[in-house]
Amino acid sequence: MQGFHSRLPADLPLGESAPMNTPRSSFLQSVNRHFTHAMGFLDLPEGLAERIIQCNSTYTVHFGVRLRGRMYSFTGWRSVHSEHREPVKGGIRFTPHADAEEVEALAALMTLKCSLTDLPFGGSKGALKIDPAQWTQPELERITRRFTQELTKRGLIGPGLNVPAPDMGTGEREMAWMADEFRRANPADAIHARACVTGKPLSKGGIAGRTEATGRGVQYAVHSYLQDARTPGVGGRRDPENLRIVVQGFGNVGYHAAKFLSEEDGALITVVAERDGQVVNPQGLAIEELKRHHLKTGSILGFEGGESVAGGSGGLEQPCDILIPAAMENAISEENAARTKAALIVEAANGPLTFEADRILRQRGVIVLPDLYVNAGGVVVSYFEWVKNLTHIPFGLMERRRRERRNHAIAEALEQMTGNTFPAGMRDGFLEGGREIDLVRSGLEDVMRSTWSRIADLLESRPELGDYRTAAYVAAIGEIAAAYEAIGI
């Protein structure tokens, strides 16, 4: 090992005094420890490592909204981890458990994620401490708009400055409110205002495929790993068909990942675990039906297509081939890491493994695909949306008809030359000129596959890195360091 030796406060000794069920490392400490570990493999100039790890700024805002005949106070945060590329980018979550430290950890992961996937953004993240279920839609709209006003005042939202996106507890609806509020506050810049957030509904400047993007990216990450002959696959198996998968969290990311892996790839989603319990079916759960049940009743429990087990976090410990934690951070800590059964853990959530859990799993030979790679699909498609908003032209518009005509001509020529007709099942796909959703999926798949190659190639050439997470961190930090040096910081 060369270069950097950390003296950062987060690089704490592993004491023996951590209480049971409380992770020894907080989310931020885990991220910083991974950072510090990876820095040890890079030969960085004096001081640059600290500069890269530290979060540049965290803005805390308290604001009041008059609702239900009285004033309610809310607290929100927006952290900017790194501005080595601008604008900075990262989601906004609405959750009663948010705090500044969590937001800083998430902002650091955004910096790494954008760097790893070579997107032209620095890293940021935001949160509002709120339980969305406690408020009606009109109330949530007023609260979201007030939060947006605060971010606008401080330059923490804007197409060239800072571009939020959905995360836990937020979606298209909140993004549409934020974009509208920003546009009202910036009438002179209204032409680009839509690019101030991504993850908007299609009718408000969104892009096809953004809602599903993170789950779709999880699917492409699994494909990339399984199809790479340098990996051991899952017990030697390289086809997702009939692999048993446990998914924790049935929200945006968990639902879409489960849906694509089961419906398109034939994997068996044997367990879906939520806050209030788990649903189990060794033959595989019907994900669309489970989703309908969840929407209708507000819980996955009671679903007829599986056995319901109320309470506990035991879902993570069920036998399976692949475990996909897709709920929240620190789901797997030193307390339960030894009891997980999967050969492969695919981190769809941000920070689902503590630093110590990661170490225990590696000692057990479990392979972990890291969050900064696995869940990058959301920000990749957000990038496409931002570009679409700034260029004001839908993807494929100039090309589509020309491509259709050319493909028609090729099909006719083939038919004339061979005397056979084009196979009916292939004809439509061949003649199609490229809809926005096809282009988005193709772009996303390309980024996920090329990013996988980047990580796996690096690990192959530097086996001392030891695991995919460290390789991903080293690749990402190397790019950030180069950007800092190029701009003279």
Catalytic center residues: 125
The single residue among 122, 123, 126, 169 that binds ligand NAD, judged by CB under 6 A, is 169
172 to 202, 254, 292, 379: CA distances (angstroms): 9, 17, 19, 14
* Residue 167 interacting with ligand NAD (CB under 6 A): yes
Site for ligand NAD in 198-257 (CB under 6 A): 214, 248-254
Give me the 129-158 binding string for ligand NAD, x by CB under 6 A, dash otherwise. ------------------------------
Residue (84 or 113) nearer to ligand NAD, CB: 113
For ligand NAD (CB under 6 A), the number of binding residues is 23
Is 274 a binding residue for ligand NAD by CB under 6 A? The answer is yes
* 44 versus 116: smaller Cβ distance to ligand NAD: 116
Least distance from C-beta 346 to ligand NAD, angstroms? 12
Applying CB under 6 A, among 166, 206, 306, 370 the residue interacting with ligand NAD is: 166
* Least distance to ligand NAD, CB of residue 465, Å: 24
Rule CB under 6 A: say whether 378 interacts with ligand NAD.
yes
DSSP β-ladder status, 244-248 and 322-325:
parallel
| 273 forms part of the interface with ligand NAD (CB under 6 A) | yes
**Closest approach of Cβ 238 to ligand NAD, in Å?**
26
The CB-of-139 to ligand NAD minimum distance in angstroms stands at: 19
Residue nearest to ligand NAD (CB): 251
Between residues 32 and 117, which has the closer beta carbon with respect to ligand NAD?
Answer: 117
Q: Looking only at residues 305 through 364 of this chain, which bind ligand NAD when binding is defined by CB under 6 A?
A: 326-328, 348-350
- Shortest distance, CB of residue 447 to ligand NAD, whole angstroms? 14
> In the complex, which residues of this chain contact ligand NAD (CB under 6 A)?
166-169, 214, 248-254, 273-275, 326-328, 348-350, 375, 378
